[in-house]
Amino acid sequence: MPDNDVMISIKEVTKRFGNTVTAVDQVSIDIRPGEFFALLGPSGCGKTTLLRMIAGFELPSAGQILIDGQDMEGIAPNHRPINMVFQSYAVFPHMSVFDNVAYGLKVSGVPRAEIGPRVEESLDLVKLAGYGPRMPDQLSGGQRQRVALARALVKRPKVLLLDEPLSALDAKLREAMQLELVRLQHTVGITFIVVTHDQKEALSMANRIAVMEEGQVRQLASPAELYEAPNCRFVADFIGKTNLLQGRVGGLSGAQVLVQVEGIGPVPLSGDKEMRGEVGVAVRPEKMRLRGDGPAEDEVGIKGRVAEIAYFGEVSFVYLTDAQGRSLSVAVPNHKRTGGGAILTGQDHWCCWRPEDAILLPE
């Protein structure tokens, strides 16, 4: 029963290598048509393995993968309606750019007259018009990646898989390519699944992100939701920077949970009222403010001594250590070009934030 709202359905998929390694552990994900989806997680968490199971290069040990309603079990990679951009690009070195892009059309019996125009169109799409006669060793890394993209897109797959597509590019080019991939995905309207270990990359490109750890999906949500409402310490820590404080549930106050945070006292936080015992309180550095004279009326705060200041251009991160030895970081925007109440190491400051900006996390 094909579901129109699901392009790829991953159901309870597990992949074991030998007896000891469980690379992917009971993962269930539904990916919608036309979605830009990201698999995000630290190295070794099983992203590539999951992608390779979708492509058909690895077989699931258990579970089921459906593409456009069709069960992929027993279907070889060359018969799946998907294409992949490999981490190494895998642009055939012995073929010209044109032949690389034409390869997938030739092997699937597309009429000769149709191949030329489709290849040109595809090269156009990735801004490589006129590069057809070049050999891959005459191309830069970024151009080779575009060839890999064109070669996959020319097949008009239902889904495009990209394994760490930008990891081999330098920082400037990577940023440009992120925007370009998003533009490309809008143009062709194909479902993109991108694997990355770079949270910034995932946040800036994807519609939805599955954050993985140790073969399991920890949270599946939109970028903003992941950032503003992580559901566990791992996600809060992995996505962006965060200050994680330890607390204890002390009771309820209306709709809110009162959390006892050492050095502050009871802080009313919104969150799961079933939570008991030890909890985590996460506050993003940019949600904190530095004050010399204690928190404002609607704020809570911790006093600390400035240990270090890291200048990042648009912001500076100020690292403080409080009386308990906890380390806190506060993002201070550099609004003004000069002056503006310089903060110096060794000074005492209050790190202040509004309780509604803190995130309550289960232990």
Partner 1 sequence: MESWRRHPLVFWLINLPPTLWLVVFFLLPLSIIWVFSFGEKEGVIGINVTWTLANYVRAFDPLYLEIFTKSFWFAGITTFLCLVIGFPIAIFITFSPARWRPVLLLLIILPFWTNLLIRTYALIAVLRMRGYVNFTLEWFWEKANGVLLFLGLDNVALLGERFQPLELLYNNTAVVIGLVYVHLPFMVLPLYAALDRMDKSYLEASLDLGAGQFRTFFAVTVPLAKAGIISGLIITFIPALGSFLTPDLLGGTDSQMIANVIERQFKSANDWPFGAALSYLLMYITFFALAIRALMARGTSAMEAA
Residues that bind ligand ADP (CB under 6 A): 17, 21, 23, 41, 43-49
Cβ atoms within 10 A of the Cβ of 51, count? 22
| Nearest residue (CB) to ligand ADP, 202 versus 358 | 202
Bridge partners (DSSP) of residue 27 are 13
| Nearest residue (CB) to Mg ion, 48 versus 178 | 48
| Nearest residue (CB) to partner 1, 76 versus 344 | 76
Report which secondary-structure segment, H or E, holds 105.
helix 97-107
- Exactly one of 155, 218, 287, 349 binds partner 1 (CB under 8 A); that residue is 155
> Measured in whole angstroms, how far is the alpha carbon of residue 251 from the centre of its chain?
35
Binding to partner 1 by residue 140, rule CB under 8 A? Answer: no
| Nearest residue (CB) to partner 1, 18 versus 346 | 18
Residue 112 φ/ψ region, left for φ over 0, alpha for ψ in the -120 to 50 degree band, beta for the rest: alpha
Binding to partner 1 by residue 103, rule CB under 8 A? Answer: yes
Partner whose footprint covers residue 84, from ligand ADP, Mg ion, partner 1, none (CB < 5 to 8 Å by kind): partner 1
Q: Rounded to the nearest 5°, which phi and psi values hold at 104?
A: -65, -30
Rounded CA Rg of the chain? 25
Tokens standing for residue 269: 């936080």
Helix (H, G, I), strand (E, B) or coil at 84: strand
Q: List contacts with Mg ion (CB under 5 A).
A: 48
Partner whose footprint covers residue 17, from partner 1, ligand ADP, Mg ion, none (CB < 5 to 8 Å by kind): ligand ADP
Tokens standing for residue 42: 């630290």
Q: Which runs of consecutive H residues, i.e. helices, occur in 126-249?
A: 141-153, 171-188, 199-205, 223-228, 233-238
Q: Could you tell me which stretch among 32-40, 131-139, 210-218, 278-286 binds partner 1 (CB under 8 A)? A: 131-139
- Exactly one of 76, 113, 255, 342 binds partner 1 (CB under 8 A); that residue is 76
In the bound complex, what is the minimum distance in angstroms from residue 134's beta carbon to partner 1?
11
Q: Rounded to the nearest 5°, which phi and psi values hold at 324?
A: -80, -5
Tokens standing for residue 80: 């799946």
Give the interface with partner 1 as residue ranges (CB under 8 A): 55, 57, 76-79, 82-84, 86-88, 90, 92-94, 103-104, 107-108, 135-137, 151-152, 155
